[in-house]
Amino acid sequence: MILLTGAAGFIGYHLALALVAEGHRVVGVDNLNDYYDPELKWARLTAAGFDRDALATAGKAESRLHPGLFFQKLALEDGAAMDALFAEHQFSVVCNLAAQAGVRYSLSNPQAYVASNVTGFVNVLENSRKHGVKHLVYASSSSVYGLNDKVPFAETDAVEQPASLYAATKRSNELLAHVYAHLYGLPTTGLRFFTVYGPWGRPDMAYYLFSDAILNDRPIKIFNHGRMSRDFTYVDDIVEGLRRIILQERPAQEGVPARIYNIGAGRPSSLLDFVETLERHLGKVAEKEYLGMQAGDVEKTFADTTALERDYGYRADTSLDEGIAAFVKWYREYNHLP
């Protein structure tokens, strides 16, 4: 049995479906918080075959479309609920994607990050240790590279210059995971995701905000006057990387069983090229408002993915053009647009 936290979230939803499609049994949990519209989280759950009324009444249910996929509403920071969850199931693998995400929100809501990403993550670690979990896989973030300016970013680079509280909590996950791997031999793998986009994506992220603004004739905000680049990674590529790390044998390793990998396209795009691709697929040119750099943000991200390729024989390969086409197609359907 696999525990997948953040299962009603963007990446969690895709991963849950990929795992059950191969016959794995998955318990998904999520607190369905309102950081962005919870209706999108409910829509993902509905698309995955969960009955909203049954979930609202019982708090947990099995998917009607995918037998072996279960969902339970639960918050990571609720220690008693987490203890009970782990006691009820014998999880062999835990994949922790639940987190308070978003760089900008962490400037105004630091406590939300401490509750989910620190207290919640320690509950995941403690229960994984207590209940003999064989492998803990968890989401970290490219934001841990912070103000580093050597590119591409490699896992061996020092990561001591976070630019936001979000980044600092993600780095703390890596350090905490190392402690549990060292003290208790809990095998852990952290994945530093680089700007993930795609169908069922997050409404707080630029590609979604831009699409909404462009289609509703509102100007889009281009920060740092467009001098930004991101290593945009298509969600299916992230899911494939996660899938391999969860299901394949962990490569042999000496010393503390704590691993960290970048997972990104390894092919950064400038913000303006990205907007141009979006405009082309939306069939509309954006009105652009050029602004300065936002607090907490970084200018560029660029993943060195040779370690993941070496150990798991995998690299993300979906082009921006294909990925944006798939996102726009979904966006139109979801929003009932022609």
Ligand X SMILES: NC(=O)c1ccc[n+]([C@@H]2O[C@H](COP(=O)([O-])OP(=O)(O)OC[C@H]3O[C@@H](n4cnc5c(N)ncnc54)[C@H](O)[C@@H]3O)[C@@H](O)[C@H]2O)c1
Binding site for ligand X (CB under 6 A): 5-6, 8-12, 30-33, 41, 75-77, 97-101, 116, 120, 139, 141, 193, 195-196, 202
88 vs 289 by CB, closer to ligand X: 88
Indicate if the alpha-carbon torsion angle 183, 306, 267, 298 is positive or negative.
positive
- The identity of residue 140, as a single letter, is S
Residue 129 tokens read as 């240790």
**Minimum distance from CB of 50 to ligand X (Å)?**
13
| Distance of alpha carbon 188 from alpha carbon 64, whole angstroms | 32
Q: Among all residues, whose Cβ is closest to ligand X?
A: 9
**Minimum distance from CB of 226 to ligand X (Å)?**
20
Residue 236 tokens read as 């299916």
In this structure, the number of other CB atoms found within 10 A of the CB of residue 73 comes to 17
Q: Evaluate whether 77 touches 115 at the Cβ level (below 8 Å).
A: yes
User: Is residue 262 classed exposed, middle or buried when 0-12, 13-18 and 19+ CB atoms within 10 A define those classes?
Assistant: buried
**Minimum distance from CB of 168 to ligand X (Å)?**
13
Task: Please tell me which residue in 36, 105, 166, 197 is annotated as part of the active site.
Answer: 166
Is 166 part of the annotated catalytic residue set?
yes
**Minimum distance from CB of 162 to ligand X (Å)?**
13
9 vs 152 by CB, closer to ligand X: 9
**Minimum distance from CB of 97 to ligand X (Å)?**
4
| Distance of alpha carbon 115 from alpha carbon 110, whole angstroms | 9
185 vs 330 by CB, closer to ligand X: 330
Nearest to 241, CA basis, from 8, 15, 68: 15
9 vs 187 by CB, closer to ligand X: 9
| Distance of alpha carbon 33 from alpha carbon 165, whole angstroms | 19
**Minimum distance from CB of 228 to ligand X (Å)?**
15
41 vs 171 by CB, closer to ligand X: 41
| Distance of alpha carbon 109 from alpha carbon 100, whole angstroms | 10
Helix, strand, or coil here: 237? helix
88 vs 287 by CB, closer to ligand X: 88
In this structure, the number of other CB atoms found within 10 A of the CB of residue 286 comes to 20
Going from the C-alpha of 93 to that of each of 113, 203, 224, the distances in angstroms are 24, 29, 41
Catalytic residues: 166
